[in-house]
Copies of this chain bind each other. A is one copy, B any other.
Amino acid sequence: MESTTKRKIKDKKRRQKVCFLGPKATFTEMAAVKKFGHSPEYIPFNSIREVFNAVEKGASDFGVVPIENSNEGSVSSTLDMFFDSGLEICGEVSVEVNQCLLSKSVIGKIKKIYSHPQALAQCQLWITKNLPHAEVIAVGSTSAAAEKASKEKNTAAIASELAAEEYGLNIISKKIQDQPMNRTRFLVIGSLEPKSTGKDKTSTLFVVHHKPGSLFDALSVFKTHKLNMTKIESRPIKGKLWEYAFFVDFQGHKDNENVKKALIELKEHTLLLKVLGSYPEED
C-alpha cells in the first residue's frame, strides 16, 4: 500500500490529494493551504481517524491534523492514532488562531452566539464584556456555527476569517480571544520520508519498562547524544491501568549519525519504540 502511494506522489501529472480534519473553512484548512498552496484537491473528513484511514488506504496523498494548541495543549486523539498507524509524520505547520465575531447583523442586535466549545472558552472575557446578554450556544465546529449565523436572524458566530468568506458573513470584530498569542500546530501525515535539511525534528513514541527510574534512563540517551528535546508528552496505554507511553520530539534527523546511535540506545531502554518521522522544523 505504501509503495502505491509513493508511486502516485511521483506521478506529477496527477493532481495531489490532501485531506484534513473538516469541516471546510476551519483553522485546519488554513494550515493545509499554508503548507500545500491552492493547487491540490482538498478533502475534508469528519474525524481524525478518517483522515488517517484515507491516507493509509492511499485515497489521499497527505493528511493534515491538529496536534497541539499553544494554550490548550495536545490533541489526544491525534497522539493516540500513532499507537496503531504505520504512517509517517512528514511535516509540521502552525497557524495563528484568531477568533472573529461574524454576523449579518450589527453588534447591538445580536441575541445568540454560536461556536465550538473551545472557541467559546477562548473568548469568554470578550463575550462577558461586549455581549453580556447574548445566549451562548455550543455547536460541533466553528464552521457549523458560521453556517447557523448565516441562516438565523440576529445571531453571530465565533469562527475564522475564512468562515466569513465561506458563509457570506461580515467580520464584526477580529482577534477576540482572551489570550492574544494563540497558535495551533498541525502535522502532515503521509508515506513520504523527507530527506535531512539540516534543521529537522524527529518524533518518537516509546514505552519504558515498568520499574523505577526507567523513564529517566531512556531520557538520558538524548542528553548523552546532545539531542535537544522540544516536547515530551505522556498518554495512557488503553486497557492498562496507570501505564503510560511517551511522545518525545527532538531536534535532528534520523539519518544523522548521532540520532542513529541515540535511537539504537533508546531501543535498549524501552519495551516499544516507534520513530514517527523526521521532518523539517518550522521556524
Task: Give A residues with C-beta under 8 Å from B.
Answer: 68-73, 76, 179-181, 183, 185, 212-213, 215-216, 219-220, 222-223, 226, 228-236, 238-242, 244
8 A-B pairs besides A212-B228, A216-B229 with CB distance below 8 A are: A73-B235, A181-B239, A181-B241, A216-B219, A216-B220, A216-B223, A219-B219, A231-B234
Q: Is the Cβ of B73 less than 8 Å from the Cβ of A239?
A: no
Question: CA–CA, A23 to B242, complex, Å?
Answer: 26
- Nearest CB to that of A223 among chain B residues? B216
Number of copies of this chain that the complex holds: 2
Q: Which residues of B contact A219 (CB under 8 A)?
A: 215-216, 219
A212 to chain B, nearest CB (A): 4
- Nearest CB to that of A232 among chain B residues? B234
Q: Is the Cβ of A232 less than 8 Å from the Cβ of B215?
A: yes
Q: Is the Cβ of B215 less than 8 Å from the Cβ of A70?
A: no
- Nearest CB to that of A242 among chain B residues? B70
- Nearest CB to that of A217 among chain B residues? B223
Question: CA–CA, A181 to B241, complex, Å?
Answer: 7
A124 to chain B, nearest CB (A): 11
Q: Is the Cβ of B70 less than 8 Å from the Cβ of A236?
A: yes
Q: Which residues of B contact A232 (CB under 8 A)?
A: 215, 232, 234
Q: Is the Cβ of B183 less than 8 Å from the Cβ of A238?
A: no
Q: Is the Cβ of A72 less than 8 Å from the Cβ of B234?
A: no
Question: CA–CA, A212 to B231, complex, Å?
Answer: 11
Q: Is the Cβ of B181 less than 8 Å from the Cβ of A236?
A: no
Q: Which residues of B contact A222 (CB under 8 A)?
A: 216
Question: CA–CA, A239 to B235, complex, Å?
Answer: 24
